Structure 1
Amino acid sequence: MSKRAEYMFALYSGSLAEPGDRNPYAGGESLVLPKLWTRGYERMMRVRIDTGPAMRRYRAECAAAESRST
């Protein structure tokens, strides 16, 4: 496996992780792989928060409050 493929896999596996999963690359020889996994994990968390039901309710309430104030 090439280094590029290994790096892409670490980023991709982080984005497919579940909340609370541990970084499988932590404590290894590479410093890049844990950071890439973490970046993918953070992206997954942002997507889940931004598209989750609580955020949808919040945005609906903001839109309703804005329409009431005009």
Structure 2
Amino acid sequence: MTKRQEYVRALLEGSLADVGDRNPYAGKSLVLAKLWRRGYRRMLRVRIDTGPAMQRYRAGRTELEISLDERRN
């Protein structure tokens, strides 16, 4: 396995991890640990941005914006 493949794999593993999973590269390889963490953060960001709480928040913002637009007109 080439270095690039290792790096891509670490990033992908982080993206596919579950909330609370430990970094398997911690204490072994700083580069791989950082890549895994970047993938993990991406996974968290996607879960937050697409989760039900964010959907409710965005729906409420849309309703508020429509209401404010109606008041202006």
Give the TM bin, normalised by the shorter chain: over 0.9
Larger Rg: 2
Per the alignment, in what secondary structure is the counterpart of residue 45 of structure 2? helix
- Per the alignment, residue 5 of structure 1 pairs with 5
**Per-residue deviation, 1:64:** 0.2
Structure 1: 5+ residue runs without aligned partners? none
CA distance in 2, matches of 1:36, 1:66: 39
**Per-residue deviation, 1:31:** 1.3
Structure 2: 5+ residue runs without aligned partners? none
CA distance in 2, matches of 1:66, 1:44: 29
Q: How many matched pairs?
A: 69
Describe the superposition over 1:30-63 as per-residue Cα deviations: whole angstroms up to 9, x where unpaired. 2100000000000000000001000000000000
CA distance in 2, matches of 1:22, 1:43: 15
- Per the alignment, residue 45 of structure 1 pairs with 44
What is the root-mean-square deviation of aligned Cα atoms in Å? 0.5
Any residues of structure 2 matched to 1:1-70 within 5 Å, and which? 1-28=1-28, 30-70=29-69
TM-score normalised by length of structure 2? 0.92
CA distance in 1, matches of 2:5, 2:16: 16
TM-score normalised by length of structure 1? 0.96
Percent identity of paired positions between Structure 1 and Structure 2: 67
